[in-house]
């Protein structure tokens, strides 16, 4: 099968999901990476190293900033000329949109946000979540090319091979600047913090977070204030890991009740019910009231010094240890792996 | 006989429910614990038109019917009683009584700001020494030229410190042949000189509500503010109670539902003896009783609301609804038992429902008073004469017209 | 301004959705307006309030699928059109987009067509862009902020990196994200209007198109796999060693 893989990037920085798409494409046959932008030839080198056999590059000032109609038009024109069997996209804001619009030009369909790809003869049959993941369906498309967007982290990135190269073909954009109706006027960062309900990753703290014996509270605090001070120190460790992972901060009822953290952070039967991809529970025993609020999380990690804590019954990974040592170490380890 | 709710009614119920879910439920526990009203609650009820839901548009209201009032109260109290109490006194005791008994000028001056949510109203009847025995009230109003001079103390008044207007019943004739003939009602601006008011704390329930006392010391009220004629005060007060009672009945139904829903949720999660407690029959018994009570309470208040829509006096039906629903809502404290020790803690909502529910059995016509009323009807002892002023029937065209 | 909002009716998001023999059911959970579409109706109403005009909602569905339409009317939309035809079932997004594009063209003179980001049943998020492509209008999707200076409509799009400001002359297609701001509740007057509203029903014949073909099909629909969890305890000689192993395991789960 001839598979094209759209490499999504922002200002020349590829989104890692694009390499996962190359990985998925390799399983189907030969892979041609498609790169649109301006001054993005370095991405071609990366694409070869990530496993692309060919690279189709359209490098033009009109493609410096993403504009749906321009990117779509160029892709459709190239596809019409060459007829790949399959086009894979990462499910990013741009990837989804280009796929959607190219499908209209090419009179075909798009299978969106898939978690698995199966090849049956010359037809791809995908698995994808529907109804917010309450159900899954198998989907297939009767027309060509078969266009698929891949869910992030569902497919393996290939191992990069330094120095690997392939065939680079350069092409021109399909639209001139004058014909493109939309104008990009600038970029900004958005202020919104991660809300618990929408978060993909949550790092939570429970009562155990306040019990760091090695912390000496400043003088002048009474017992209750000292406990809160200790807890806030502990929650700082929780927040540091959360911010490294781009995660929301959650808490058990015990932590909220004791005043360590506001009620809006409470996860549980009487707080918020969440279902993130990753839930890291620190110093939380795992009583049913808390579990009811996070039990459907995809991967649960528990850090607790009590080996019999019920939380370990639902956790995928656990550490029986001192969270005041493990948490900062974990934050450091992630900072290194995620390159932060 | 069509028992289904119209599309309009369903949308109304859903709208009020969405409001309570989005804006009230996230904060109610905090304020109930602090024994303080939610600062924005009354303002939002006004902004959304809920405070004027069942008044004609030409009087500043939303032109919906009395069933809508009941449905809104059910939703509000399913979130917290304090919200429904505001409706009971602002809409029930004050607004609807003005609609029924007020002169056109009084409706223009006082009903329009109430129905449009610009001013808050309350009902002022109870005194430190008098609750059920309305006829024996002591607060006096002495006629002096074009005014009345009011003196006395009123207590257990919801929204006492928050309201702008009050529908007040007082004794204008100390020498009447029968105590009940000596009362008159007034619509009073609560910033009139001589009026002082304060809050009462330490209630078992409705802690996010505002309950207080109002003191009258030589308060001069213009005669134009008298509602109806001198001596009609008792009858007017009984009308006010009918309206308030309807909101209490529909609201208490909301507590039964909230307790039921909480119990079903919890019973399906909690396990004991190898299965969910929902699989145990003694728990099922409690849940069955709550679900039956909810159906009955709901049908009773909807019937009363329907009669109000027809312009038919519904004292009897409202009494059935109020007594049944309030007692059922207190019985729904079975929800605490279902939640076990957790039900005893304010981490869960059911103890709040229990504390809130207890009050309604006392106020707006205690269960004992309702019993007497119902026996009176059943024995044929209650001779109801037509009232000089009736609550107008609901007329969608008339009520939704702006002129 | 002539403003259109395309809305969809879906089962309530709290519904327990199960499938048996490829038949999807949601118990007695109500059918409601797709939550994302409340944002697009809100945006449409705000645009009308600032610049004048009318807001028409369009929905494709069965004859009795009017809950979404009623909600939009109760929020304040001026009128609604239900596109209903027995052949319009099981359509994929590009077929639906063809229907919506024809409807928008039939209405004529539309300046802005609003969409919610995606529908919570199919979760595809393709229809807004596809409708824009068929109309050959600029697609200003994932809008968190919308401004119109009388000539160009500008949106701030919500992307992985933050916000991208893009503008175009009318007519345009806009899709909304939650950052736009809370949609208004239906008003009582709106509720009354909505209950009484006569909603014209357009068939494919009215649109002047033949049944669009779907190319996507669903060979199977499954309940999610049940997961048995076996906890792996990570140990090591130092916190750093434990942390390093744990971090790698977590990264291997592909959840970050």
Q: CB distance C195–B48 less than 8 Å?
A: no
- What are the residues facing A139 on neighbouring strands? A126
Kindly report, residue by residue over B173-211, the tens digit of the pLDDT.
Answer: 999 999 999 999 999 999 999 999 999 999 999 999 999
Averaged pLDDT of chain B: 96
What confidence category does residue A217 fall into, taking pLDDT thresholds of 50, 70 and 90? confident
Low-confidence ranges of chain C (pLDDT < 50): none
Rounded CA-CA distance A334/C248 in Å is 9
Task: Point out the residue among B30, B269, B348 whose CB comes nearest to the CB of A292.
Answer: B269
Check residue A152 and give its pLDDT: 83
Using alpha carbons, select from A136, A132, A84, A74 the residue that is nearest to residue A108.
A84
Using alpha carbons, select from C167, C172, C125 the residue that is nearest to residue C145.
C167
- Alpha-helical (H) ranges within chain A are 16-26, 41-49, 68-82, 93-105, 223-245, 253-257, 288-294, 323-337
Contact between residue B341 and residue B266 where contact means Cβ atoms under 8 Å apart = no
What confidence category does residue A194 fall into, taking pLDDT thresholds of 50, 70 and 90? low
Rounded CA-CA distance B380/B360 in Å is 27
Half-sphere exposure (Cβ direction) of C254: Cα atoms closer than 13 Å: 11
Using alpha carbons, select from B261, B250, B262 the residue that is nearest to residue B349.
B262
The yes-or-no verdict on residue A240 having pLDDT over 80 is yes
The yes-or-no verdict on residue B26 having pLDDT over 90 is no
pLDDT (average), residues A124-148: 94
Averaged pLDDT of chain A: 92
Residue C166: other Cβ atoms inside 10 A: 25
Which residues of chain B have a CB within 8 Å of the CB of A270? Answer: 347-349
Which residues of chain C have a CB within 8 Å of the CB of B11? Answer: 70-71, 74, 186, 191, 194-195
- C217 in reach of chain A (CB within 8 A): yes
Check residue B318 and give its pLDDT: 98
Using alpha carbons, select from C4, C90, C123, B266 the residue that is nearest to residue A292.
B266
Rounded CA-CA distance A28/B297 in Å is 64
Catalytic pick among B364, B368, B384, B403: B364
What confidence category does residue B213 fall into, taking pLDDT thresholds of 50, 70 and 90? very high
- Give the strands of the sheet with A110-114, arranged side by side: A110-114, A146-150, A86-90, A2-6, A30-37, A54-59, A167-170
Which residues of chain C have a CB within 8 Å of the CB of B91? Answer: none
Using alpha carbons, select from B185, B298, B171, B191 the residue that is nearest to residue B241.
B185
pLDDT (average), residues B85-107: 98
A20 cis-preceded (ω within 30 degrees of 0): no
Cα distances (Å, whole numbers) of residue B204 to B33, B200, B201, B350, B367: 11, 11, 9, 14, 18
Report residue C162 as tokens: 């933050």
Cα distances (Å, whole numbers) of residue C219 to A115, A123, A136, C22: 16, 12, 11, 9
Rounded CA-CA distance C195/C191 in Å is 6
Report residue A196 as tokens: 């618990």
Check residue A216 and give its pLDDT: 83
Kindly report, residue by residue over A37-75, the tens digit of the pLDDT.
Answer: 999 999 999 999 999 999 999 999 999 999 999 999 999
Residue A268: other Cβ atoms inside 10 A: 25
- C2-207 CATH pick, 3.40.50.300, 3.40.190.10, 3.40.1160.10, 3.40.50.620: 3.40.50.620
Q: CB distance A270–B30 less than 8 Å?
A: no
Task: Point out the residue among C188, C194, C195 whose CB comes nearest to the CB of B49.
Answer: C188
Rounded CA-CA distance B315/B307 in Å is 10
Query: Global pTM?
Result: 0.90
The yes-or-no verdict on residue A212 having pLDDT over 80 is no
Instruction: Characterize the bridge pairing of strands C172-176 and C139-148.
Output: parallel
Kindly report, residue by residue over A144-153, the tens digit of the pLDDT.
Answer: 999 999 998 7
Q: Which residue has the higher pLDDT, A16 or A137?
A: A137
Between chain A and chain C, the number of residue pairs with CB atoms below 8 A apart is: 250
Reduced to 3 states (helix: H, G, I; strand: E, B; else coil), residue C87 is: coil
The yes-or-no verdict on residue B403 having pLDDT over 80 is no
Instruction: Characterize the bridge pairing of strands A201-205 and A278-282.
Output: parallel
Which residues of chain C have a CB within 8 Å of the CB of A92? Answer: 160
Half-sphere exposure (Cβ direction) of B322: Cα atoms closer than 13 Å: 30
Report residue B344 as tokens: 């005893």
Rounded CA-CA distance A173/A175 in Å is 6
Using alpha carbons, select from B356, B365, B306 the residue that is nearest to residue B83.
B356
Contact between residue A286 and residue A264 where contact means Cβ atoms under 8 Å apart = no
Q: What percent of chain C has pLDDT above 90?
A: 85
Check residue C90 and give its pLDDT: 87
Contact between residue C54 and residue C77 where contact means Cβ atoms under 8 Å apart = no
Q: Which chains touch C (3 or more CB pairs under 8 A)?
A: A, B
Report chain B's C-alpha Rg in angstroms: 21
Please, what is the end-to-end C-alpha distance for chain B in angstroms? 34
pLDDT (average), residues A195-217: 85
Q: Which CATH topology does A201-337 take?
A: Rossmann fold (3.40.50)
pLDDT (average), residues A203-232: 84
A3-179 maps to CATH 3.90.1150.10? no
Reduced to 3 states (helix: H, G, I; strand: E, B; else coil), residue A213 is: coil
User: Which uninterrupted H or E stretch holds B307?
Assistant: helix B281-310
- C234 in reach of chain A (CB within 8 A): yes
- Answer positive or negative: Cα dihedral of A214, A215, A218, A224: negative
Rounded CA-CA distance C170/C181 in Å is 23
- C14 in reach of chain A (CB within 8 A): no
Which residues of chain C have a CB within 8 Å of the CB of A15? Answer: 160
- Answer positive or negative: Cα dihedral of B27, B33, B34, B39: positive
Check residue A332 and give its pLDDT: 94
Check residue C109 and give its pLDDT: 97
CA angle A94–A95–A101, rounded 5-degree value:
90
- Tally the residues of chain A: 340
Q: Where are the domains of chain C?
A: 2-207
- What are the residues facing A137 on neighbouring strands? A128, C221
- C249 in reach of chain A (CB within 8 A): yes
Check residue B347 and give its pLDDT: 85
Q: Which of A257-266, B217-226, B362-371 has the lowest mean pLDDT?
A: A257-266
Rounded CA-CA distance C53/C47 in Å is 9
Kindly report, residue by residue over B277-320, the tens digit of the pLDDT.
Answer: 999 999 999 999 999 999 999 999 999 999 999 999 999 999 99
Rounded (10°) angle between helices B66-79 and B7-19: 30
Check residue B121 and give its pLDDT: 98
- Give the strands of the sheet with A116-120, arranged side by side: A116-120, A123-130, A135-141, C216-222
Report chain A's C-alpha Rg in angstroms: 24
Check residue A269 and give its pLDDT: 79
Which residues of chain A have a CB within 8 Å of the CB of C94? Answer: 103-104, 108-110
pLDDT (average), residues B110-120: 98
Tell me if residue B364 is catalytic: yes
Half-sphere exposure (Cβ direction) of A333: Cα atoms closer than 13 Å: 20
Q: Where are the domains of chain A?
A: 3-179, 201-337
- Measure A270 CA to nearest chain B CA, in Å: 6
Q: Which residue has the higher pLDDT, C216 or A225?
A: C216
Residues 193-212 of A with CB under 8 A from C: 200-201
What confidence category does residue A213 fall into, taking pLDDT thresholds of 50, 70 and 90? confident
pLDDT (average), residues A175-190: 93
The yes-or-no verdict on residue A215 having pLDDT over 90 is no
- Measure C192 CA to nearest chain A CA, in Å: 32
Report residue C196 as tokens: 């009484």
Mutate which: B347, B350, B352, vs A, most A CBs within 10 A: B347
Tell me which DSSP letter residue B165 carries.
E
Match 């809920």 to its residue by tokens: B50
Q: Which residues contact B77 (CB under 8 A, 6 or more apart)?
A: B83, B84, B250, B251, B252, B253, B254, B255, B258, B356
Dihedral pair phi/psi, residue B221, rounded to 5°:
-120, 130
What confidence category does residue A193 fall into, taking pLDDT thresholds of 50, 70 and 90? low
Q: CB distance A140–C234 less than 8 Å?
A: no
Q: What percent of chain B has pLDDT above 70?
A: 100
Report residue A61 as tokens: 């000032």
Match 């369909």 to its residue by tokens: A109
Rounded CA-CA distance A301/A319 in Å is 8
Check residue B239 and give its pLDDT: 97
- Measure A204 CA to nearest chain B CA, in Å: 19
- Tally the residues of chain B: 403
Using alpha carbons, select from B26, B69, B43, B40 the residue that is nearest to residue B254.
B69
- Measure B190 CA to nearest chain C CA, in Å: 30
Q: Which of A164-178, B162-176, C14-28 has the lowest mean pLDDT?
A: C14-28
């Amino acid at each position: 099968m001839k598979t094209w893989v759209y490499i999504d990037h922002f200002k020349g920085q590829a989104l890692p999901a694009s390499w996962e798409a190359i990985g998925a494409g390799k399983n189907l046959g030969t892979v041609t990476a498609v790169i649109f932008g301006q001054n993005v030839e370095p991405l071609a080198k990366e694409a070869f190293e990530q496993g692309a056999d060919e690279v189709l590059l359209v490098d033009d000032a009109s493609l410096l900033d993403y504009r749906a109609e321009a990117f779509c038009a160029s892709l459709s024109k190239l596809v019409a000329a060459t007829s790949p069997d399959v086009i894979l996209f990462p499910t990013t804001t741009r990837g989804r949109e280009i796929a959607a619009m190219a499908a209209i030009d090419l009179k075909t369909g798009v299978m969106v946000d898939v978690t698995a790809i199966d090849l049956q003869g010359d037809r791809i049959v995908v698995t994808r979540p529907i109804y917010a993941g309450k159900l899954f369906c198998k989907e297939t498309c009767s027309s060509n090319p078969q266009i698929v967007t891949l869910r992030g982290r569902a497919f393996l990135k290939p191992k990069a091979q330094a120095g690997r190269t392939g065939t680079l073909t350069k092409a021109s954009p399909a639209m001139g600047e004058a014909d493109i109706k939309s104008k990009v006027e600038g970029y900004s960062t958005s202020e919104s913090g991660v809300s618990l309900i929408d978060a993909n990753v949550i790092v939570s703290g429970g009562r155990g977070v306040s019990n760091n014996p090695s912390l000496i509270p400043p003088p002048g605090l009474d017992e209750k204030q000292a406990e809160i001070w200790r807890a806030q120190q502990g929650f700082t460790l929780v927040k540091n890991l959360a911010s490294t992972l781009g995660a929301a901060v959650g808490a058990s009822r015990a932590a909220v009740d004791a005043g360590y953290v506001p009620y809006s952070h409470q996860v549980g039967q009487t707080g918020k019910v969440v279902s993130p991809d990753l839930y890291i529970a620190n110093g939380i025993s795992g009583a049913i009231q808390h579990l009811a609020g996070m039990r459907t999380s995809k991967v649960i990690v528990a850090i607790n010094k009590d080996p019999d804590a019920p939380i370990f019954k639902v956790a995928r990974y656990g550490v029986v240890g001192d969270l005041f040592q493990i948490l900062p170490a974990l934050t450091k380890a992630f900072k290194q792996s995620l390159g932060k | 006989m069509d028992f289904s709710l119209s599309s309009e009614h369903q949308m109304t119920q859903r709208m009020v429910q969405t409001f309570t879910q989005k804006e009230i439920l996230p904060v109610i526990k905090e304020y109930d614990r602090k024994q303080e009203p939610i600062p924005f609650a009354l303002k939002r009820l006004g902004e959304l038109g809920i405070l004027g839901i069942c008044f004609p548009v030409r009087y500043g209201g939303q032109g919906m019917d009395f069933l809508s009032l009941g449905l809104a109260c059910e939703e509000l109290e399913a979130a917290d009683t304090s919200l429904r109490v505001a409706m009971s006194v602002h809409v029930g005791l004050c607004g609807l009584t003005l609609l029924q008994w007020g002169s056109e000028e009084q409706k223009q001056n006082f009903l329009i700001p109430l129905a449009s949510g610009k001013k808050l109203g309350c009902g002022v009847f109870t005194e430190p020494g008098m609750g059920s025995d309305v006829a024996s009230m002591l607060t006096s109003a002495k006629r002096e030229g074009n005014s009345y001079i009011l003196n006395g103390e009123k207590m257990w008044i919801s929204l006492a410190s928050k309201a702008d207007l009050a529908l007040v019943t007082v004794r204008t004739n100390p020498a009447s042949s029968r105590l009940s003939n000596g009362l008159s009602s007034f619509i009073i601006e609560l910033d009139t000189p001589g009026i002082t008011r304060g809050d009462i704390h330490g209630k078992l329930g409705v802690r996010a509500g505002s309950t207080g006392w109002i003191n009258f010391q030589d308060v001069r009220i213009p005669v134009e503010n008298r509602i109806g004629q001198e001596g009609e005060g008792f009858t007017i007060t009984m009308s006010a109670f009918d309206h308030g009672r309807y909101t209490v009945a529909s609201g208490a139904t909301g507590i039964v539902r909230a307790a039921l829903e909480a119990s079903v949720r919890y019973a399906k999660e909690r396990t004991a003896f190898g299965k969910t407690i929902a699989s145990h029959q003694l728990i099922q018994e409690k849940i069955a009783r709550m679900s039956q009570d909810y159906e009955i309470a709901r049908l009773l208040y909807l019937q009363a609301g329907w009669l109000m829509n027809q312009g038919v006096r519904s004292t009897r039906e409202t009494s059935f609804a109020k007594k049944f629903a309030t007692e059922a809502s207190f019985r729904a404290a079975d929800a605490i038992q279902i939640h076990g020790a957790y039900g005893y803690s304010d981490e869960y909502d059911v103890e709040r429902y229990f504390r809130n529910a207890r009050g309604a059995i006392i106020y707006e016509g205690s269960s004992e008073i309702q019993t007497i009323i119902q026996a009176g009807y059943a024995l044929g002892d209650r001779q109801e004469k037509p009232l000089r002023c009736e609550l107008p029937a609901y007329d969608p065209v008339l009520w939704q017209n702006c002129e | 301004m002539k403003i259109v909002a395309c809305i969809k009716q879906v089962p309530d998001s709290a519904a327990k959705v199960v499938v048996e023999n490829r038949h999807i059911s949601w118990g007695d959970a109500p059918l409601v307006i797709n939550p994302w579409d409340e944002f697009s109706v809100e945006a449409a109403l705000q645009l009308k309030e600032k610049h004048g005009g009318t807001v028409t909602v369009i929905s494709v569905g069965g004859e009795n699928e009017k809950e979404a339409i009623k909600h939009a009317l109760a929020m304040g939309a001026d009128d609604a059109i239900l596109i209903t035809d027995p052949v319009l079932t099981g359509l994929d997004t590009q077929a639906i987009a063809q229907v919506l594009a024809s409807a928008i063209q039939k209405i004529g003179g539309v300046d802005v067509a609003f969409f919610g980001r995606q529908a919570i049943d199919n979760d595809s998020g393709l229809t807004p862009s596809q409708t824009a492509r068929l109309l050959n209008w600029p697609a200003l999707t994932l809008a968190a902020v919308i401004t119109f200076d009388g000539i160009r409509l500008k949106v701030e799009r919500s992307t992985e990196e933050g916000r991208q400001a893009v503008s175009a002359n009318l007519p345009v297609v806009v899709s909304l994200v939650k950052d736009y701001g809370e949609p208004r509740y239906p008003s009582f007057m709106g509720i009354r209007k909505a209950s009484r509203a006569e909603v014209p029903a357009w068939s494919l014949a009215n649109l002047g198109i033949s049944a669009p073909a779907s190319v996507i099909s669903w060979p199977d629909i499954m309940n999610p796999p049940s997961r048995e969890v076996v906890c792996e305890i990570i140990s090591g000689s130092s916190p750093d060693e434990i942390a390093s192993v744990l971090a790698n395991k977590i990264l291997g789960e592909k959840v970050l």
